[in-house]
């Protein structure tokens, strides 16, 4: 290309020379010098098209991401998402997506740096995942409470149905917006970790009241009842007569809480059978409970004694949980811990993707 431009310039100069008086060598040099920047500008424009800016640069250049850019700046995440050595996949909500949050929520989130950081990093997956690589999956996120903090185990539920992609139910409306350090997929809703979603579900919020609620959570039963993903668990706890135990303000519990999907994944008929057998139900539920508060920063590979019992107030049956920590990922009896440190006034909940069964019960139902 450069040779063609220079050749064109030379031809033009020859034509001009034929019609003009002979000039000094200095004048010829000046004429050639004016041709060189044309080639350089073209090359620069071409290079710029081939090399997009960072994820932050791309977002800043798009007016539909102005709220996202403001949020990223407030959270102190600019350097993270602009890191040229990193590779990120970002599910980016539009301004309209932020505007669709319940009244007061956006202002409240922008004023709470820890909460804002959690929500924004929940939209980020490590590595570059382009649209041709996407399948139905649970994708681990970079969710954290502070820049450089511990990962909180948040996952995104990505579904691909008839060629349409959703992330936690949000529609992916544009894909493969490439950046020098990753890729952006545009979504039509803001993604919220499960406990945050439960907190803001469907109601206008006043920032002061919300902050107070976050500072003083309810009991384990209150927290579970407020999260629609735990509705099956709450039903089971009620049927077993364990509400007063898990809501006891004087107690301190660590509960590994299966989601509705985890219960639904049990073999056909098992859930109904268990709900109809109070002793069996009590054994299974108390097998998910460890005495004391064990937060994620305290977890190591261990055998953890449980509160497994056949009846409320009965003798402990000696059940233990096999907790494994490998490369920062935690499993309990093979079930994945998908969210951690959901705090309650009388303990902590860690969310798991499978129902835990004592060995003899697992054998009886073929698991």
Confidence at residue 40, expressed as pLDDT on a 0 to 100 scale: 40
The answer to whether position 174 is within a domain reads yes
128 and 77, same structural domain?
A: yes
User: Distances from the Cα of 51 to the Cαs of 59, 80, 125, 146, in angstroms?
Assistant: 15, 19, 22, 30
Closest of 192, 163, 160, 162 to residue 91, by C-alpha: 192
DSSP 8-state code for residue 362: H
Confidence at residue 29, expressed as pLDDT on a 0 to 100 scale: 37
Confidence at residue 13, expressed as pLDDT on a 0 to 100 scale: 32
What whole-number distance in Å separates Cα of residue 111 and Cα of residue 76?
Answer: 13
Q: Who's near 163: CB < 8 A, 6+ residues apart?
A: none
What whole-number distance in Å separates Cα of residue 153 and Cα of residue 355?
Answer: 18
112 and 6, same structural domain?
A: no
180 and 226, same structural domain?
A: no
59 and 43, same structural domain?
A: no
111 and 167, same structural domain?
A: yes
Q: Who's near 83: CB < 8 A, 6+ residues apart?
A: 54, 181
CATH number of residue 228's parent domain: 2.30.180.10
The percent of the chain in helix, strand and coil, each rounded to the nearest 5, is: 45, 25, 35
Alpha helices in 51-128 (DSSP H): 55-60, 66-75, 78-81, 95-99, 105-110, 113-121
Confidence at residue 216, expressed as pLDDT on a 0 to 100 scale: 65
Please work out, in degrees rounded to the nearest 5, the angle formed at the alpha carbon of residue 15 by the alpha carbons of 13 and 20.
Answer: 85
Instruction: Specify the number of domains making up the chain.
Output: 3
249 and 292, same structural domain?
A: yes
Confidence at residue 212, expressed as pLDDT on a 0 to 100 scale: 36
Confidence at residue 163, expressed as pLDDT on a 0 to 100 scale: 84
Neighbours of 337 (CB within 10 A): 19
Instruction: Give the domain extent around 269.
Output: 217-364
The answer to whether position 210 is within a domain reads no
Confidence at residue 50, expressed as pLDDT on a 0 to 100 scale: 61
Is residue 120 within 8 Å of 75, Cβ to Cβ?
Answer: yes
The answer to whether position 117 is within a domain reads yes
Q: Return averaged pLDDT per consecutive 10 residues of the chain, 367 residues in all.
A: 34 35 37 35 46 92 95 95 95 95 90 93 94 89 87 90 91 94 96 84 40 62 91 96 95 95 94 95 96 89 92 89 89 92 92 94 83
The answer to whether position 63 is within a domain reads yes
**Sign of torsion over alpha carbons 52, 174, 229, 262:** negative
Confidence at residue 11, expressed as pLDDT on a 0 to 100 scale: 33
The answer to whether position 224 is within a domain reads yes
173 and 297, same structural domain?
A: no
């Amino acid at each position: 290309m450069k040779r063609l431009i220079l050749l064109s310039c030379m031809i033009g100069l020859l034509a001009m020379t034929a019609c003009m008086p002979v000039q000094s060598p200095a004048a010829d040099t000046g004429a050639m010098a004016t041709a060189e920047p044309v080639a350089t500008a073209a090359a620069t424009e071409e290079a710029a098209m081939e090399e997009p800016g960072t994820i932050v640069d791309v977002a800043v250049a798009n007016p539909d991401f102005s709220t996202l850019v403001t949020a990223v700046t407030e959270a102190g995440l600019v350097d993270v998402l602009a890191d040229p050595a990193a590779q990120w996949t970002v599910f980016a909500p539009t301004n309209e997506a932020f505007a669709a949050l319940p009244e007061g929520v956006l202002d409240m989130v922008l004023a709470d740096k820890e909460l804002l950081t959690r929500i924004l990093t929940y939209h980020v997956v490590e590595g570059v995942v382009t649209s041709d690589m996407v399948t139905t999956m649970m994708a681990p996120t970079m969710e954290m409470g502070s820049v450089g903090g511990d990962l909180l185990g948040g996952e995104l539920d990505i579904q691909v149905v008839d060629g349409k992609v959703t992330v936690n139910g949000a529609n992916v409306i544009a894909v493969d917006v490439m950046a020098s350090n990753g890729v952006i997929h545009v979504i039509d809703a803001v993604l919220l970790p499960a406990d945050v979603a439960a907190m803001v579900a469907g109601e206008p919020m006043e920032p002061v009241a919300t902050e107070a609620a976050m500072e003083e959570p309810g009991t384990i039963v209150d927290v579970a009842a407020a999260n629609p993903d735990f509705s099956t668990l709450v039903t089971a706890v009620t049927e077993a007569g364990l509400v007063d135990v898990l809501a006891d303000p004087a107690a301190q519990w660590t509960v590994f809480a299966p989601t509705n999907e985890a219960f639904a994944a049990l073999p056909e008929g098992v859930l109904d059978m268990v709900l109809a057998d109070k002793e069996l139900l009590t054994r299974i539920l108390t097998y998910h409970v460890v005495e004391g508060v064990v937060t994620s920063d305290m977890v190591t590979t261990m055998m953890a004694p449980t509160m497994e019992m056949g009846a409320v107030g009965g003798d402990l049956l000696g059940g233990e949980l096999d907790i494994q920590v490998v490369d920062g990922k935690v499993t309990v009896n093979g079930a994945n811990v998908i969210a951690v440190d959901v705090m309650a006034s009388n303990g902590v909940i860690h969310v798991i993707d499978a129902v835990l069964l004592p060995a003899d019960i697992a054998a009886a139902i073929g698991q």
